[in-house]
Amino acid sequence: MTTDTLGPFSGLACIQFRIELGEPERNLGCIAGVLATAGDLTGTLVVLPEMWSSGFAYGRLEAMAEATPTMLAGLTELARRHRCILAGSMPEKAGSGAEGRFYNTLYVTGADGVLGTYRKQQIFAFGGEGEDFVPGFEPYPVATPLGLLGCLVCYDLRFPDLARTQCQQGADLLICPAQWPLVRIGHWRTLLQARAIENQTFLVACNGCGIVDGMELGGGSAIIDPQGTILAEAGSGAGPQLVLARPDWRLREEYRSRFRSFAVAAYPFRDERKILPTATGCLGLLRKRKELGQRLVCRGISGQPGAEELQALEDARRFGDFLLVVLPSGAGGDDDCRIYAALGCVDAVCRLTGWSEADLAQLRELTGSARVVRRHGETD
């Protein structure tokens, strides 16, 4: 492959290794050792595994998060020494409203310190992460002196819109630190190639390896080109491995010159179809969504939205998978329903005209709402 890159980074790399659970200094030392033997990494982006400093050291996450600034200082020194950029996730203590819980935060670090962050959007609740971690929001690319990074962290890989929206915002490539288990390693490779192909871009993915806290990680860290070709790939062994490729950025531009499918963003919906005119239709849709395993959120509204109400709707939608806005019987008109239906955070709108007490009881049962209608100024 040519070394004439004509693009943001002269090299793309990842360091795959077995994370020592709850041992930040040892894990940082492992990374330093690999970099010391890597040769010239000037202008190279180096991706590390998810939670590389500590692993998911449940019960000790407070101490691990307190060590994060020290680890970032260590990465800054390594980035300065090797003239590269390093990216990997570590625990970050969450702020007000989420006391005792953490973000899984991907830090991008250069010679002058942290360049930007991305918080894992999709927490893997099936694996128990939801007990200690909260999701981030605002999935924007991270700017570096060499280019924009579209970021994913592990489970985020299964949600294609996260990659697509960042590429539509101008991300030059995608990165994905992970702790992906060996039992689903086939999905890992398929999804990596799909995200690269869908977005016609390079992708750098770094997985953990070996047995960590009783789970065997699958390795398979890889660098993939815009057509899904694997340029370099690690095995599944537990020893540290540097995976490195010199991308030919002309390949991406030549491929995108034919068509740019990832950039297409025409709006394909009619928002007025979110308006549910009958109790039967509304309850039927809610049952179907709940059968799918979605978390339903119901919020009552008394009139047209103000700034405070708009913020409350956004906040409510972040903690559910489907947001129903309910207007009380006689409140507002068709225009009010249409305004709420046009909001991106709202999934459905209904007015309670013609609803029976039995219908209201079903609504409360489906959404877990003690109250159906919330007036401005009241608390839920």
How does pLDDT run across 16-55, given as a tens digit for each residue? 999 999 999 999 999 999 999 999 999 999 999 999 999 9
Least confident of 149-153, 173-177, 200-204, 314-318: 314-318
Q: Distance (Å, rounded) from C-alpha 180 to C-alpha 161?
A: 20
Least Cα distance to 359 among 290, 284, 285, 279 occurs for: 279
pLDDT of residue 180: 98
Distances (CA, A) of 340 to 196, 287, 309, 359: 35, 22, 11, 22
Q: Distance (Å, rounded) from C-alpha 325 to C-alpha 130?
A: 26
| Cβ 148 vs Cβ 170: under 8 Å | yes
> Within 10 A of 318 (CB to CB), how many other CB atoms are there?
14
Q: Distance (Å, rounded) from C-alpha 151 to C-alpha 142?
A: 7
For the cut 60, the answer to whether the pLDDT of residue 179 exceeds it is yes
For the cut 70, the answer to whether the pLDDT of residue 378 exceeds it is no
What the block records as the tokens of 380 is 């839920």
Q: Angle at Cα 247 formed by Cα 246 and Cα 253, nearest 5°?
A: 160
Least Cα distance to 93 among 62, 124, 55, 135 occurs for: 62
Architecture of domain 271-367: 3-Layer(aba) Sandwich (3.40)
For the cut 60, the answer to whether the pLDDT of residue 198 exceeds it is yes
pLDDT of residue 376: 34
Helix axes 61-82, 24-36, angle to 10 degrees: 20
Distances (CA, A) of 202 to 20, 167, 247, 252: 29, 11, 8, 8
Residue written as tokens 């009552």? 300
Residue written as tokens 């008394």? 302
Q: Is 314 exposed, middle or buried (0-12, 13-18, 19+ CB in 10 A)?
A: middle
pLDDT of residue 374: 39
For the cut 60, the answer to whether the pLDDT of residue 2 exceeds it is no
Q: Is 337 a catalytic residue?
A: no
pLDDT of residue 236: 85
Q: Distance (Å, rounded) from C-alpha 310 to C-alpha 340?
A: 10
Least confident of 145-149, 206-210, 303-307, 316-320: 303-307
Q: Distance (Å, rounded) from C-alpha 218 to C-alpha 210?
A: 7
| Cβ 236 vs Cβ 180: under 8 Å | no
Catalytic residue among 14, 20, 30, 50: 50
pLDDT of residue 126: 86
For the cut 60, the answer to whether the pLDDT of residue 5 exceeds it is no
Q: Distance (Å, rounded) from C-alpha 224 to C-alpha 364?
A: 48
pLDDT of residue 332: 61
- Average pLDDT rounded to a whole number, residues 371-379: 38
CATH 3.40.50 domain locations along the chain: 271-367
295-344 confidence digits (pLDDT tens): 999 998 876 778 888 999 999 998 899 999 999 877 667 888 999 999 99
| Cβ 179 vs Cβ 217: under 8 Å | yes
260-302 confidence digits (pLDDT tens): 999 999 989 999 999 999 999 999 999 999 999 999 999 988 7
Q: Is 93 a catalytic residue?
A: no
pLDDT of residue 302: 73
Catalytic residue among 84, 154, 282, 298: 154
- Average pLDDT rounded to a whole number, residues 67-77: 98
Catalytic residue among 30, 120, 151, 167: 120
CATH 3.60.110.10 domain locations along the chain: 11-263
Distances (CA, A) of 239 to 32, 211, 228, 261: 14, 11, 26, 39
- Average pLDDT rounded to a whole number, residues 348-373: 86
Beta strands in 135-235 (DSSP E): 142-144, 147-151, 173-178, 203-207, 209-212, 215-218, 222-224, 230-233
Average pLDDT of every residue of the chain: 92
pLDDT of residue 177: 98
Q: Is 274 a catalytic residue?
A: no
The hierarchical CATH code for the domain 11-263 is 3.60.110.10
Contacts of 111 (CB under 8 A, 6+ apart): 76, 79, 80, 83
Q: What's the half-sphere exposure (Cβ side, CA atoms, 13 Å) at 253?
A: 8
pLDDT of residue 1: 31
